[in-house]
Homo-oligomer: A and B are copies of this chain.
Amino acid sequence: MSEPRYDVIAIGNAIVDIIAACDDATIEELQLNRGGMTLVDADGADTLYAAMGPATEKSGGSAANTLAGLAELGTQCAFIGQVAKDQFGEVFAHDIRAAGIDFDTPMLEGGEPTGRCLIFVTPDGERTMNTFLGAGQVLPAEALDEELIASGAILYLEGYLWDPEEPRRAMRRAIDVARKAGRKIAFTASESFVIDRHGDDFRAMIEDGVLDILFVNESELATLTGEAEFEAGLAAIAGKVPVLVATRGPDGAVAIAHGERAEVAAEPVEAVVDTTGAGDQFAAGFLSGHAKGEPLAVCLKRGAIAAAEVISHYGPRPEADMQKLMADKLA
């Protein structure tokens, strides 16, 4: 087992976010799944876009956002994800490379366009996401650079991408490659609907000890374990994954690692502008500490700080000098 070249390698959706503020009535009128992520087809995306106010485009994608946060915190990262050879694909590729992340997945030509996520942000800062996966649905197992995957200390996988068939196969292959190389597998459940559809896969991976680090939020934990009560949900799987991180939005987060438990309160923010990326950046903050072997409570605190920064502005990736922010807040 050679020394890993990267701290974290992630496989995830390569998506450009299209973000607009909206009022609560718009969510009602468009019958959107408030606070959730809903998959839409190309026509559905066009219809919603036409109903959306003037917008801003920023690179997104859950695991890609986490890597952007990790890279900003000085972690060595590489990303694997499928964009098309189009303007949004160029935007995604530019932004992730400009963040200091290696990204070499070839662009898809002649097929679906690059994925996009239409994000409606209500006055309370809650984001309602509607995703057209586009090229993201066709990441083939053959596109994986196995040498690359074997070279990362942690392979980080995004639950969203477990839904479409081809990327799911690719991620299963990547898990095998990483485990054979002696690497750790980190997984974020992403969204309850993914667990509704693929919970058996996830539960089997947990039972089989495939996952080393698991990120869930409160409702995902409930869906995954069938336990409506938070503590019961934790108890159901805490012994089966070496590191379990469960976030609860404004109620903070809990981590249980190798029998040790730590908790953190949510970091106070002046105003919640846009919750997009909160979970992604919590994971980034946590992993940035975990990669350095920091104590569990510090890893959680880092997660809370990173989440608080990203919900204080529009967009899913950090905009502050995060190393300075961490140093100030952890001092």
Contact = CB atoms under 8 A, between A and B. Distances in A.
Interface size class of A (residues with CB under 8 A): 20 to 34
A45 to B, nearest CB: 11
A52 interface: yes
A56 B56 contact: yes
Contact of A56 (B87, B88, B315): B315
A287 to B, nearest CB: 19
Report the copy number of this chain in the oligomer.
Answer: 2
State the majority secondary structure of interface residues on A: mixed
Interface stretch (A92-100, A195-203, A215-223): A92-100
A53 interface: yes
Contact of A54 (B49, B114, B317): B317
Given A86-B87, A87-B86, A94 B59 contact: no
Contact of A53 (B50, B86, B98, B114): B98
A52 B87 CA distance: 16
A80 B86 CA distance: 25
Interface of A: 18, 20, 49-50, 52-59, 68, 86-88, 91, 94-95, 98-99, 113-114, 315, 317
